[in-house]
């Protein structure tokens, strides 16, 4: 089950043609990941203070399929795909919800984002604490 976060498109998100500037999808994905972590009780500042580490983006793969426009309301998703000892891969999508009456959502952008856990003091890779992994990847 994917976490969902609503996003409204404002002037600042668009280019001269009123279409979302491509790099802004990275901002939308970042916000959704941050809120997903927060919803799991893993606020990023609290993680840094309590566990001594933090997540950093190490790789991004994006595919653009359709444009979002000024005033659109989007749903941005985040769900864990896989984890390693020091990294987590997250699948994300930006969707325009279908119109009332059951029309399907329109997939605008999708991607996978790999985040790595680093020691907050040294910025060196470290193992993700088991308690953090348990919250991110609950057992079935």
Catalytic residue of the set 15, 59, 71, 105 = 15
Nearest one of 59, 66, 64 to 81, comparing CA atoms: 59
User: What kind and span of H or E run contains 134?
Assistant: helix 130-136
Quick check: helix, strand or coil at residue 121?
Answer: coil
Asked if 105 is an active-site residue, the reply is: no
Q: Which residues pair with 111 in a beta bridge?
A: 62, 92
**Residue 82 to residue 95: CA distance in whole angstroms:** 22
Quick check: helix, strand or coil at residue 32?
Answer: helix
Q: Parallel, antiparallel, or unpaired for β 87-96 and 3-8?
A: unpaired
Which residues are annotated as catalytic?
15
């Amino acid at each position: 089950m994917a976490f969902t976060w609503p996003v409204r498109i404002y002037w600042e998100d668009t280019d001269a043609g009123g279409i979302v500037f491509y790099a802004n999808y990275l901002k939308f994905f970042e916000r959704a990941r941050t809120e997903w972590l927060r919803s799991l009780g893993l606020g990023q500042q609290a993680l840094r203070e309590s566990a001594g580490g933090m997540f950093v983006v190490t790789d991004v793969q994006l595919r653009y399929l359709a444009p979002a426009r000024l005033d659109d309301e989007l749903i941005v998703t985040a769900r864990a795909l896989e984890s390693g000892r020091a990294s987590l891969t997250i699948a994300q999508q930006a969707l325009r919800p279908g119109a009332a009456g059951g029309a399907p959502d329109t997939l605008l952008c999708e991607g996978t984002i790999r985040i790595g856990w680093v020691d907050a003091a040294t910025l060196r890779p470290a193992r993700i604490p088991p308690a953090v992994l348990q919250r991110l990847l609950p057992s079935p």
